[in-house]
Amino acid sequence: MTPERTVLLIEDEPSIRLPLVDDLREAGYRVLVAPDGERGLALALSEDPALVLLDLMLPGRDGFSVLRALRADRCTAPVIVLTARGEGFDRIQGLELGADDYVVKPFLARELLLRMEALLARVRGDVPGLAAGTSVRIGAATVDFAGYRLERGNETIPLSRRELELLRYLLDREGQVLSREALLDGVWGRGVDVTPRTVDQHMLKLRKKLEPDPDAPVHLRTVRGVGYTLVR
C-alpha cells in the first residue's frame, strides 16, 4: 500500500475509533491509530501520514495542542478535526490553527471519506489551478507551493496549507474581485460552518507575510463593500 493511502486516526473513544478503522481499511487505507494526543503527535511526526483525523477532546494533550505542535513542526499533512462540540468558536479555532476541514460527531463514514478524498486530491494536484510544485512571483516575494513558504529578500516565511490554497485560488482569478462568500465556497468548501470573518483573518495573516507594508497592501487589495482581489 502506498504512503499516499496512510491515515493517522487520533481518537480516544472506542465506539467511534473501532468502526471507523474498519471503514477506512475497507476503503483501502492503511490506518495508524492513537488513543491519546501524545501518542498521536509522536506517530504523526515519525510516520509522516498522508492525512490526519484528529479528535479535539483527547485525554492528556488535547486536539488543539496536537494541531498546534504539528504545524509548528512543519507537518504539512492535511488534518480533519473530529469534534462533538457544537460551538462555532471551536471549529474556527481549529481552522485558524491549521486544520483543513472538520466533521461534527456523529457523522456518516461516507461523508468523512468524501472529504478525505477531496483533501488528498488537492495535495496530489488533481484539481484545477496551479500545480503544487509551482513557484510564483508576487511583487518582491516568491511563493513556493511545494515548500510551503514565501521568500522575500533574505527572509523565508512559512505558509500554512490554507494560506497557500487561498493564494492559489486568488492567483487563478487574478484581477477579479471576489466576495468573502465566494472565497469561503472556493477555498473552505460549501457547507463549512465558518463566517466571512475567517477570510478576513487569513487575508490579514497573508498580508503580514506578503506585503512590504501590510497596512497599505498593493497585492492583496480590498475593494470596499465587495471583497478582495490579487494584483501581482
Query: For residue 142, what pLDDT is reported?
Result: 92
Residue type (1 letter), 95: L
141 neighbors 151 (Cβ within 8 angstroms): yes
Amino acid letter, 78? P
* pLDDT beyond 50 at 127: no
pTM of the model: 0.60
Q: Left (φ > 0), alpha (ψ -120 to 50) or beta: where does 13 sit?
A: beta
Q: Average of pLDDT values for 93-120?
A: 82
Q: Where are the domains of the chain?
A: 3-124, 135-230
Mean pLDDT estimate for the chain: 85
| Short-list 92, 113, 86, 94, CA closest to 24 | 113
Please identify which residue in the block is written with the cell numbers 486568488: 170
Residue 184 cell numbers, joined: 469561503
Alpha-carbon gap, residue 219 to 63, rounded angstroms: 35
Q: Measured between alpha carbons, how far is 197 from 203 in angstroms, rounded to an integer? A: 10
Please give the CATH architecture assigned to the domain spanning 3-124: 3-Layer(aba) Sandwich (3.40)
Class of domain 135-230 (CATH, top level):
mainly alpha
Between 148 and 128, name the one with better pLDDT.
148
Statement: residue 65 has pLDDT above 90: yes
Integer Cα distance of 216 and 157 in angstroms: 20
